[in-house]
């Protein structure tokens, strides 16, 4: 009986090892497929892979392999994401919050936001695009204008530079 149990455990172990060797390339190729479309954060890739595959350990090893090959880098993702969202008219506060929710370290997101710079000019561009008539003289309308910029993620300093 003990021999049978030992033999059975060896067979199971060998099958698991073979299964891991077979599924790693499948998960790795899926990860390459995901990151080939656009830049992703490490968390985004992990979450997408874990939805599709239940093998958490293999997914982690795939993530490590992608990081070793510099295929996913949160700093590069933060730079590209910051640039794209700034072009769409969003401010540094909102971009920082979005990066943090996407799993990017706060220090990496703040570095990317700081390096991008030009936030006062970006706030002016967004304001001029939305409010073609300029700063309103009506108090309520002026509050709405300020609220719009605040909701876009611009800081008090950037908003104040437009209204002063």
Helix axes of 56-68 and 42-52: crossing angle, nearest 10 degrees: 150
Instruction: State the alpha helices, DSSP H only, in the chain.
Output: 2-37, 42-52, 56-68, 74-87, 92-101, 106-116, 119-130, 139-151, 156-163
Q: What is the average per-residue pLDDT within 113-133?
A: 92
In the predicted structure, residue 13 carries a pLDDT above the cut 50 = no
- Would you kindly state where each structural domain of the chain is located, as residue ranges? 2-72, 75-163
Q: Categorize the per-residue pLDDT at 134 as very low, low, confident or very high, splitting at 50, 70 and 90.
A: confident
What's the rounded Cα separation, in Å, for the pair 64 and 60?
6
Which token pair is 141?
């309308």
pLDDT tens-digit readout, 30-45 = 999 999 999 999 999 9
pLDDT of residue 16: 43
pTM (predicted TM-score): 0.80
pLDDT tens-digit readout, 75-111 = 999 999 999 999 999 999 999 999 999 999 999 999 9
Q: Measured in whole angstroms, how far is the alpha carbon of residue 8 from the centre of its chain? A: 45
pLDDT of residue 15: 43
């Amino acid at each position: 009986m003990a021999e049978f149990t030992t033999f059975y455990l060896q067979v199971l172990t060998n099958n698991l090892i073979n299964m891991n060797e077979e599924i790693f390339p499948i998960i790795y190729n899926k990860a390459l497929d995901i990151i080939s479309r656009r830049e992703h954060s490490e968390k985004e890739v992990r979450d997408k892979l874990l939805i599709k595959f239940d093998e958490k350990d293999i997914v982690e090893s795939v993530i490590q392999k992608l990081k070793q090959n510099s295929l996913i880098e949160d700093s590069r993702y933060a730079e590209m994401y910051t640039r794209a969202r700034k072009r769409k008219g969003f401010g540094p506060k909102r971009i920082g919050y979005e990066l943090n929710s996407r799993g990017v370290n706060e220090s990496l997101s703040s570095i990317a936001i700081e390096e991008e710079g030009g936030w006062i000019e970006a706030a002016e561009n967004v304001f001029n695009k939305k409010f073609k008539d300029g700063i309103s003289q009506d108090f309520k309308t002026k509050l709405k204008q300020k609220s719009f910029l605040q909701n876009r993620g611009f800081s008090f300093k950037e908003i104040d530079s437009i209204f002063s």
